[in-house]
Structure 1
């Protein structure tokens, strides 16, 4: 009896030991799985945080790019506004120039009616003048002799030819054919250096080169006008475009000084308003 109880106790104790051993064996495995899962969760959280930081960085870069594009667009809008204003002023200058030339032509026609009358041929009158020229006339002192009729006719013809050449070059400029207009104004200046329209030709020659971004040659044309014809009506505009050309050539100090000279010399001219506006925009540009 006692022996059987001892065996049962031994068996029970053995089973208990086996269960304890199994529990001890399983406990480290469970303890090992739990910290690994936590580490994986921490790693995932860190990865998510890094991804969020990267997304925020990308959004910040996109925002900065958009701000830069907006600044560029604002500068382009201001430049377009300036070009529109410049075209408007140029149109006004063209009409003013045309009115002045028509006025000069009308004055010339009133002062010299004889050449205008002789523009239409009259065979009978020509024959009478030929007979009168061959008829003997009493001698007269040289000082009392009337001028030869051919001299006024040649002067009028030269003026008409000069005006026609100028108008042809000017039409090319208005049509946007700047190559033809520059060629036409150069030929006009070479052929009619003493004409009343020569200062204007120098200005529009500079405009033709400016429109084709040939700023160095434009500078030469504007400077020649300012040095040779300082009293010309085109002098304020020539100085303004001289400053613009210098700025386009990255000569910022020289261009700024020229625009300030426009304000000092021609404060009441429209060119002074444009110069002041350009100086204002220059002062707002960031310094690189």
Structure 2
């Protein structure tokens, strides 16, 4: 048997070792607590950021709706100022009455749509005809076009659409007419007025199939059809862009949108 002093020393060493082990354990537990607190703090920050993101998304949606409502309101006021409804005796099946109905649904002034539809039914007027006397002044046409395009570039979509419509009516034989139709369609597309944008781009292709704006108009027809949930028609149009203009920028854009549509359908 060990002497009493040796036994005490052994016990003292054991207690010391136990105390050291306890300190290590306490230290480990403290580090774990710190990590837990850090994780909880990060989770709280993430939740706060998610809440802020949701609030921003809600505000963005409200701003979009407010902008759209403002556009519709301003366009309806413009219709009143520009003369309002079509003639009472217009036939329901005539191009003018059809355009007027579309105008009421999509925000186009009825008088402008009716005049444009009538011009489409007659076809482009001869260069020297009395229906387009202003076309004899190329500088005036250029100035009017520049004003409309500047309004569009500045985000004044109501004003630009009105000015492009006036330009098309006053200068139907201008070399800038296809461009005016294209940017008129863009002004509608930008404010999500896809129905009227689609009609405008289709009119451009019908009247000016060989213009420089034809490829872009065909692409935008596909975009409008996609936005209107006309997936089958949109895919056919986009495939037509790829086939008709291979290797072009519009073909690349069409391929990208076609890919997006197919992904959405797969999901």
TM-score normalised per structure 2: 0.49
Larger Rg: 1
Larger RCO (alpha carbons 8 Å, 6+ apart): 2
